[in-house]
Amino acid sequence: IKDWNGIDQVVLRNPQGASARVSLHGGQVISWRNDLGEELLFSSSKAIFKSPKAMRGGISICFPQFGNCGSIEQQGFARNKIWTIEDDAPPLLKNDIRGKSFIDLLLKPGEEEPKCWPHGFELRLRVSLASDGNLALISRVRNINGKPFSFLFGYHTYLSLSDISETGLETLDYLDNLCQRERFTEQGDALTFESEVDRVYLSSPNCIAVLDHERKRTYVIRKEGLPDVVVWNPWEKKSKAMTDFGDEEYKQMLCVDGAAVEKSITLKPGEEWTGRLELAAVPSSFCSDY
């Protein structure tokens, strides 16, 4: 289907009724719904769906920069480009598609590529929706240049919350057990939110939980190849300064971004890097039973 700028969007569905919507603009996931049709990702009511800016919300791909510290545009250019659908993407593990609905996207440098990052790369993104409604994003960056290059990467992920003041963030031990739904152990007290937050947690655990107490929903975020986690909420003052964000909307969102921010990733010619993010939204009662 096309959005109102004529840019293609792909809808993934599973048999239980969960869905995800991916835009070719930026390879951005702009919606993820559970089998009850509830939206799990935040999108601003003031979001601008217009090139060359990323829509405020969903999950945007930040590459080859994260944040605003280099000569490249904020969060890199990948989220502002039009990606293509790749029908014959190089294979990943079979498990990555078994029983899943998925789409493979590709971004390569075009003719008007930014002078500030003149490298030969291929950036692949597979977005898949599993039968249990879990959403997975797998990104692969390949150096097709004669010279090494370095980059940062992030999945800028806006989770939808009922109330930020009723939200906690926890890191979880025993991530494999959690993700196989056997058992998990909480580490220390949950982080709560009372003011603006913009932090990079370095070398963070690979499994993180965000608890929406009011909705009794827990988001479980599992990452691989992404050592850091960026946690962001603009709070009241910054919200008012953003034109594509409602004044009160900071109460209904939290960005928790699996990322490689502190140390850049370097690829030699021919090398490939993979960064994976998996999101689950489960009833909190389910978690406390384990």
Which residues here bind ligand TA6, judged by CB under 6 A? 67, 74-75, 156, 198, 230, 232, 255, 257
Residue 94 burial by Cβ neighbours in a 10 Å radius (0-12, 13-18, 19+): exposed
Token digits for 192? Answer: 């709560």
Q: Considering the complex, what minimum distance in angstroms separates the CB of residue 91 from ligand TA6? A: 32
Residue 5 burial by Cβ neighbours in a 10 Å radius (0-12, 13-18, 19+): exposed
Longest CA–CA span in the chain (Å) reads: 55
Q: Closest residue to ligand TA6, Cβ-based?
A: 232
Residue of 62, 127, 77 lying closest to 278 (CA atoms)? 127
Beta bridge mates, 140:
124, 274
Are residues 49 and 71 in contact, defined by beta-carbon separation less than 8 angstroms? no
Q: Considering the complex, what minimum distance in angstroms separates the CB of residue 32 from ligand TA6? A: 18
First vs last Cα of the chain: how many Å apart?
41
Q: Which helix (H) or strand (E) holds 229?
A: strand 228-233
Q: Considering the complex, what minimum distance in angstroms separates the CB of residue 251 from ligand TA6? A: 17
- Is 144 or 191 the residue whose CB approaches ligand TA6 more closely? 191
- Is 68 or 95 the residue whose CB approaches ligand TA6 more closely? 68
Q: Considering the complex, what minimum distance in angstroms separates the CB of residue 103 from ligand TA6? A: 23
Q: Considering the complex, what minimum distance in angstroms separates the CB of residue 82 from ligand TA6? A: 18
- Annotated binding residue at 98? no
- Annotated binding residue at 13? no
Q: Considering the complex, what minimum distance in angstroms separates the CB of residue 62 from ligand TA6? A: 8
Residue 179 burial by Cβ neighbours in a 10 Å radius (0-12, 13-18, 19+): middle
Cis previous bond, 283, omega within 30: no
- Is 174 or 235 the residue whose CB approaches ligand TA6 more closely? 235
- Is 203 or 243 the residue whose CB approaches ligand TA6 more closely? 243
- Is 74 or 274 the residue whose CB approaches ligand TA6 more closely? 74
- Is 79 or 222 the residue whose CB approaches ligand TA6 more closely? 79
- Annotated binding residue at 74? yes
Q: Which residue numbers belong to the known binding site?
A: 56, 74, 79
Binding-site positions for substrate: 56, 74, 79
